[in-house]
Structure 1
């Protein structure tokens, strides 16, 4: 009757959930806990998501997948520019600036800008020096959240705006993975049975799993990192051969987030714990045995608590 078209009225929670590849209940939780939700009200009591609302949610999701805690990711997304182009590679949040992100001991705007400049110059030695300094001073989780994530997000913003910086992102990811892999393994690990870390089948984004392996090493937890694109059959074989205390599986993209195969993973004696992370998973279809986590810190806490209980 002469009203605006459906798209002008905004998107429903179901439509936005489908677009982001998350459950509608996840969006409602983010709205309730962090205040990042729909701002437009349609007729009646239903609230609708505007394009700017969706852009902020996409920015929050990209920060979470890079390891930021959900509350901090929401704060950065709400403070940042809205409505910018989204990054298809999963790091950027639109625009051309490098966000500072959360404040952690020793990580400040100058340090973030320094690593970003080294990355843009493809200066691998300078990137490695900055990464090693942050890891040695702050530890893995703080370095990840306070330095690595903001720089990765900023490069993603540049890629979204220009279509470039693919070489920058690849080299920085390679350097960071090398620095994380160099974190010393525990001399006397707390666990007799290892923790298995793997990416879902066909999932190529493995940097967050390198970060988790390094953070577990700092916590004196022995972990076996299987890497990217681990076939379900190969993960099942590794479970049978090692009898792990826990298994962590990462899915970053919606194309790798179908959890149907997780129920087919073999059981262990004593039982192993299944933990999943990343925004790719279809959360409302996860098996009851899978414990989802939303940040690097949560993953470390969940996996170490399993060891404590055992």
Structure 2
């Protein structure tokens, strides 16, 4: 029998495996931070399992950031534990399109700091991307998508993803629907050891939908944006999400995908002369920033942007780090402008 999936997939919190993947911090390190500094999960399930909630992840993200700046772990933990809570987001007045109990439209998911870019995937001008409905925000179909994935209903998964993309655009769908459902599936893997097939089917259908939107950009003159994963980084779905989000605002991209050797990336840079190169690292083992300094310096100049929680330490001079999909879109479109 398939487990029921709650409407809000973040209600149960995050197991240590899911928190590790989300933060890019190894699970043994999280256990050490809990034992030594008290930076541990603060929630318990009815069955007695400990879970990290949104506030825990926020403190751990700050801990990781402070250590990356060179601060001693004990001092970083002291500052992370003293981190003030974020200001409450403004709640829109309920309307017929927005139920009173609907999630706040401006709040990105746990672990993705808010930016000045609208969460609907719109460019800075406020004009909706091509093909995106101007109707007001609605509750994302997280429970329906999770149930369809759990029973391996690829047709239903594709339909829900395509419908939400068409209505709300890539950024809204990624942050409000896809990330929460993937987190729920990963938590189920942590608890039961099962669900890899579910994750793979969902990833396949999401990637197919995102690639279709990225291909909708008509070819035009101008330098493209080059997107790739770091060498040995196999998690490429965020790169496809960025390509699709850029496609909505008319930006041409070239996607090299997973596990791109830096030599191959350098070769592609010389051949294409991109205006921006984006490199994704999700796991700490792929997040060495040193090879970025050896990428070719092009003329005209090329901006290097990196994203993902895998990156360790400060990036080389001139390399820009972004934290969220909206921030990546905003940074790249600003460079193009």
Match of 1:227 in 2: 257
Q: CA deviation at 1:7?
A: 3.1
Task: Report SS of the residue matched to 1:73.
Answer: coil
**SS in structure 2 opposite 1:291?**
strand
Q: Is the 8 A contact 1:21 1:281 kept in 2?
A: no
Question: Where does the alignment leave 5 or more consecutive residues of structure 2 unmatched?
Answer: 1-33, 41-58, 84-104, 114-134
Check the 8 A contact 2:229/2:280 in 1, yes or no.
yes
Matches within 5 A, 1:191-210: 192-210=222-240
CA contact (8 A) 1:70 1:294 kept: no
Alignment correspondent of 2:189: 159
Q: Partners of 2:70 and 2:60 in 1: how far apart?
A: 7
TM-score (norm 1): 0.69
CA distance in 1: counterparts of 2:259 and 2:106, whole angstroms: 26
Structure 2 counterpart SS, 1:292: strand
Indicate conservation of the 8 Å contact 1:278/1:294, yes or no. Answer: yes
Residue of structure 2 equivalent to 1:72: 108
Q: How far off is 1:21 after superposition? A: 5.7
Distance in structure 2 (CA, Å) of the matches to 1:112 and 1:204: 25
Give 1:11 deviation, angstroms: 5.6
How far the C-alpha of 1:164 sits from its partner, in A, is 1.1
Which consecutive residues of structure 1, in runs of 5 or more, have no partner in the other structure? 1-5, 29-36, 39-45, 54-68, 78-103
Contact 1:198 1:230 survives alignment (8 Å): yes
Whole-angstrom distance in 2 between the partners of 1:232 and 1:292:
18
Q: Is the 8 A contact 1:200 1:251 kept in 2?
A: yes
- In the alignment, is the contact (CA less than 8 A) between 1:180 and 1:211 conserved in 2? yes
Q: Do the aligned residues in 2 keep the contact of 1:21 with 1:280 (CA within 8 Å)? A: no
2:168 pairs with 1:125: no
Aligned pair 1:240/2:276, yes or no?
no
Give the structure with the larger helix fraction: 1
Identify the residue that residue 142 of structure 2 maps to in structure 1: 112
Structure 2 residue 336 is the aligned partner of structure 1 residue 307: yes
SS in 1 for 2:109: helix
TM-score for the superposition, normalised by structure 2:
0.64
Task: Quote how far apart the aligned CAs of 1:236 are.
Answer: 0.2
Asked if 1:291 corresponds to 2:320, the answer is yes
Contact 2:68 2:312 in 1 (8 A): no
* Mapped partners of 2:180, 2:112: distance in 1: 10
Q: How far 1:306 sits from its partner (Å)?
A: 0.3
Question: What CA distance in whole angstroms lies between the structure 2 residues aligned with 1:27 and 1:163?
Answer: 36
User: In the alignment, is residue 7 of structure 1 matched against residue 38 of structure 2?
Assistant: no
1:26 & 1:148 partners in 2: Cα distance?
31
Structure-2 change in CA distance of 1:8 and 1:306 (3 Å): closer
Shift of 1:272: 0.4
The aligned residue for residue 26 of structure 2 is none
Alignment size in residue pairs: 239
**What secondary structure is seen at the aligned counterpart in 2 of 1:247?**
strand
